[in-house]
Homo-oligomer: A and B are copies of this chain.
Amino acid sequence: MQLTLHSPLDMHLHLRDGQMLQTVAPLSAKSFAGALVMPNLVPPVTTKEMVQSYKERIKEAMGDEVFEPYMTLFFRPEYDYAFLADIKDSILAIKLYPAGITTNSEDGVDNFSVEALAPTLEAMSELGIPLCVHGETNGFVMDREAEFIPIYERIAKRFPDLKIIMEHITTKDAVDALMKYENLYATITLHHLYITLDDVAGGLLQPHLFCKPIAKRPEDRMALRKVALMAHEKVMFGSDSAPHPRDKKEAPGCAAGVFTAPIALPALAQLFEAAGVLENLQKFVSDNAQNIYGITPPKKEVKLVKEPFEVPSSYNNVVPMFAGESLAWRIAGGI
């Protein structure tokens, strides 16, 4: 059995920088025609020059592969209309992090009153720049996403023309909220479609599955699967693939993040096929994102074949999800 995906997109990707960028960029390029690249470098990507030079470094790391890095800017409440109008053509979206909520987010937002955010959000709305949000409070780890929903709702109501992407949603509550406002959209990761907290901490502790937002309850995963597998037009694939060196993951104080870029399409094909909806995968991994963001990615066919794929134990020093296990699909030509 074969499956050809047309210009698959990963709408939430961490490529890092330096040596790590060299390791992971080619792996995304083998699977995807493009990706929305997160700006949480150290320091975060906050200027046009930083966006442009980061994009250049990404393109270099991609080599000859057809791959469009869609760039994001790290949200700051002081961005004004003139700044945003100038940078608009260099980015696809702006990513908002609550301060300290995940890897390299220390410079994020700590005041979520609409007044504090309004000038920037108004300008974004007028200029048509989508807002991507890591929607978690600093509350109890299982409640953080649900507690953030009123903030999504306030922003969605106040700025009805602003496209808001609820990034890497993990709960039934988030799925429900998503459906209530026309201008809310969401990315869903591979790992949140596969795992619950049981897989992280229900047996032995599994640091390579530790991520933020943390994987939730079985009924949450069910809600995510439901909208992903039907390729609901409001959701799109965003891997949140987040590489950390093995020694940072396999030690106390393990960093949050699951590395899925090289195995995402085979694992998605396996999941969609098992649910009998393989035909929906094209929408989930590309068409929906094209519609939501109004983009036309470079033409690229990625062929999957239903043959066992023995997932490597690591890619350089980065351990992927399903390391050492076998997936039912592989990318033709290998990865």
Interface of A with B (CB < 8 Å)?
Answer: 140-142, 196-198, 200-202, 204-208, 210, 214, 217-218, 249-256
Contact = CB atoms under 8 A, between A and B. Distances in A.
A201 B250 contact: no
Stoichiometry, as copies per complex, reads 2
Contact of A197 (B140, B206, B218, B252): B140
A188 to B, nearest CB: 20
Given A250-B250, A250-B251, A251-B250, A204 B140 contact: no
Nearest to A197: B141
23 contacts: A140-B196, A140-B197, A140-B202, A140-B218, A141-B197, A141-B198, A141-B202, A142-B197, A142-B217, A201-B201, A202-B214, A204-B252, A204-B253, A204-B254, A205-B207, A205-B254, A205-B256, A206-B253, A207-B207, A207-B252, A207-B254, A208-B252, A250-B252
Nearest to A202: B141
Nearest to A196: B140
Contact of A252 (B140, B206, B217): B206
Contacts of A252: 204-208, 249-250
Given A140-B196, A201-B201, A201-B210, 17 more contacts: A140-B198, A140-B202, A141-B198, A142-B142, A142-B197, A142-B217, A204-B252, A204-B253, A204-B254, A205-B252, A205-B253, A206-B253, A207-B207, A207-B254, A208-B252, A250-B250, A250-B251
A114 to B, nearest CB: 27
